[in-house]
Amino acid sequence: MSVYREIARNGVWKQNAILAQLLGLCPLLAVSTNFVNAVSLGLATILVMAMSNLALSSLRAFIPYEIRIPIFILIIAALVTVVDLAFNAWLHDLYLVLGIFIPLIVTNCIVLARVEAFAAKNAVGASAFDGAMMGVGFVWVIGLLGAARELVGQGTLFSGIEMIVPSLQGWQVLPADYPGFLLAILPPGAFILLGCLIALRNWIDARANQRLAQRRAEAFAGT
Amino acid sequence: MDLDALRGKLAYQPLLLGVVGLSASAALALANTATRDAIAAAEVRDMQQSLAQVLPGGFADNDLLADVVELEGPRGVPVRVHLAKRGGRVAGAVFQVAEKGYSGDITLLMAVDRDGAVLGVRVLKHTETPGLGDKIEVAKSPWITGFDGRALGDPAPERWAVKKDGGIYDQFAGATITPRAVVKAVRGGLQFFAGHRGEITG
């Protein structure tokens, strides 16, 4: 069980696709203008990553090293297209908003990176779980970024939720006459906020390491 | 047979690629079949909603999605014109126009009555700056309804522009290019209608 725990820790924090590896920035910056869009694309990415890791891990015995990349891409592209069709058919309004970014999941390097680095070498269950956890790491960061940009930029949260759950409504957090802060919505705002998130992560990690070192030193002194 | 020995064979790689390609195509064909009807239905619903926004209620009594003529548009691309009929007589036409905005094309759906006056204009798709250029959406600002009732001669041709260019239409604070593009697109649409009026009204 500790294997799965390690996978989860890697995906969500230690090797977080965005905060630690800085992969998949294009969709991250483009779609995180509000929370609902961000999380929707994130969920689609989880789905694709879990499925591609599952599929390629179960085929790994048959795939020769020399032609692995075309096979990986072929299968990932097919899976993404299936997800794209499903969104178009059953979540049509959301599909219109996310537009080109669903097919572009193919080019999200997190997907290929996890297939290459993990699924090609590990058992099926662990691989599917790794894909899902890397996806979760992507979702919480893009969701946080989306919420922050939406709140600062427009003063709302969850706007557009009616595209997924028709009975719900977006939430006007700040007064309705809030003029908005354009920078947060534009790409530079995404870069600035992302930078802050990365700094925060590094700070938390540095502090944890420092504490660990201190505790070790104390334990050493005690012996 | 031993898988390792098999993998060493020259024919193995192309065959494997072929099999994977075929399976991927099969998966796509399956997914396409499973979603085709739902996608078509969603697109029809979309189109109906847009049509209902640009045409006044009860304006037409025919099925606009079925009554379509294709005409040559301004850039040589065919334009699908939906005919709005009342009692069998063409009372108006609905079609799409597009113009380059600040970032990418702005696609509009516009309805024009028999005499060439605008019945309604709505933005179908755009990628303008949120908070600035997106005031062309009716959900954000009523600006786009300012075209209702306008025609090629009303206002005069040189006044078919934003105020900054000497016209009658408001621009937005911080965004002139977007409304300028929309005005140009609507004017282009009216010119297109005028050029094909005979074919459209029959």
Q: What is the pLDDT of residues A140-187, one digit of tens each?
A: 999 999 999 999 988 888 887 877 777 888 888 888 778 778 888 888
Residue contacts between A and B (CB atoms, under 8 Å): 72
In sequence order, the 6+-apart residues with CB closer than 8 A to the CB of B183 are B160, B161, B162, B167, B169
Enumerate the β-bridge partners of residue B89. B86
Tally of domains within chain A? 1
For B5, the enclosing helix (H) or strand (E) is helix B3-8
Q: Which two tokens stand for residue A56?
A: 């390629």
Domain extent for A187: 2-222
Q: Which is higher by pLDDT, A47 or B140?
A: A47
Q: Tokens at residue A55, please? A: 């599929």
Nearest Cα neighbor of B107 from B148, B71, B54 is B54
Q: What's the rounded mean pLDDT across residues B113-117?
A: 91
The number of residues making up chain B comes to: 202
Q: Supply A180's token pair.
A: 């908005």
Nearest by CB to residue A89, choosing from B3, B38, B130, is: B38
DSSP character at residue A159: T
b/e map of B19-55 (b: 16 or more CB within 10 Å)?
Answer: ebeeebeebbeebeeebeeebeebeeeebeebbeebb
List the one residue out of A10, A105, A8, A120 whose CA is nearest residue A58.
A120
Quote the distance between the C-alpha of residue A132 and its chain's center: 10
Total number of residues shown for chain A: 223
Residues 6+ apart with CB under 8 A from B29: none
How high is the mean pLDDT of chain B? Answer: 88
For residues B87 and B79, give the distance between their C-alpha atoms in angstroms, rounded to a whole number. 25
Q: What is the pLDDT of residues A83-129, one digit of tens each?
A: 999 999 998 888 887 877 888 888 888 899 999 999 999 999 999 99
Cα gap B23→B16, rounded to integer Å: 11
CB hemisphere CA count around A17 (13 angstroms):
34
The verdict on a CB contact (< 8 Å) between A85 and B35 is yes
pLDDT, residue B134, reads 80
**CA-closest candidate to residue A101, choices B17, B127, B31:** B127
Q: Which of B46, B125, B131 sits opposite A180 (nearest CB)?
A: B131
The mean pLDDT of B132-143, rounded to a whole number, is 84
- Residue A51 pLDDT: 94
Residue B113 and residue B119 in contact, taking contact as beta carbons nearer than 8 Å: yes
Q: pLDDT, tens digit, for every residue of B152-170? A: 988 888 889 999 888 899 8
Per-residue pLDDT reduced to its tens digit, A10-51: 999 988 988 888 888 888 888 888 898 899 999 999 999 999
C-beta neighbour count of A63 within 10 angstroms: 20
Enumerate the β-bridge partners of residue B69.
B81
Tokens, residue A21:
């590896």
Contact B27 A70 (CB under 8 A): no
Q: Rounded CA gap, A136 and A75, in Å?
A: 21
Give the pLDDT of residue A100.
77
pLDDT of residue B90 exceeding 80, the answer is: yes
pLDDT digits (tens, 9 = 90+) for A127-137: 999 999 999 99
pLDDT in tens, B12-60: 889 999 999 999 999 999 999 999 999 999 988 888 888 888 998 888 8
Given this model, what pLDDT does residue B1 score?
54
pTM of the model: 0.78
**B contacts of A186 (beta carbons < 8 Å):** 129
The percent of residues above 90 in pLDDT, for chain B, comes to 43
Q: Do A67 and B17 touch (CB under 8 A)?
A: yes
Q: How would residue A204 be classed by pLDDT, with cut points 50, 70 and 90?
A: very high
Structure tokens at A13: 């924090």
Nearest CA in chain A to B132: A182
Instruction: Using a CB–CB cutoff of 8 Å, tell me whether B13 touches chain A.
Output: yes
pLDDT for B65-81, tens place per residue? 888 888 887 777 888 89
Whether residue B3 lies within 8 A of chain A, CB to CB, comes out as yes
Distance from CA of B60 to the nearest CA of A (A): 26
- The predicted structure's pLDDT at residue A1: 61
Rounded to the nearest integer, the mean pLDDT of chain A is 89
d(CA B94, CA B80): 9
The predicted pLDDT at position B29 comes to: 96
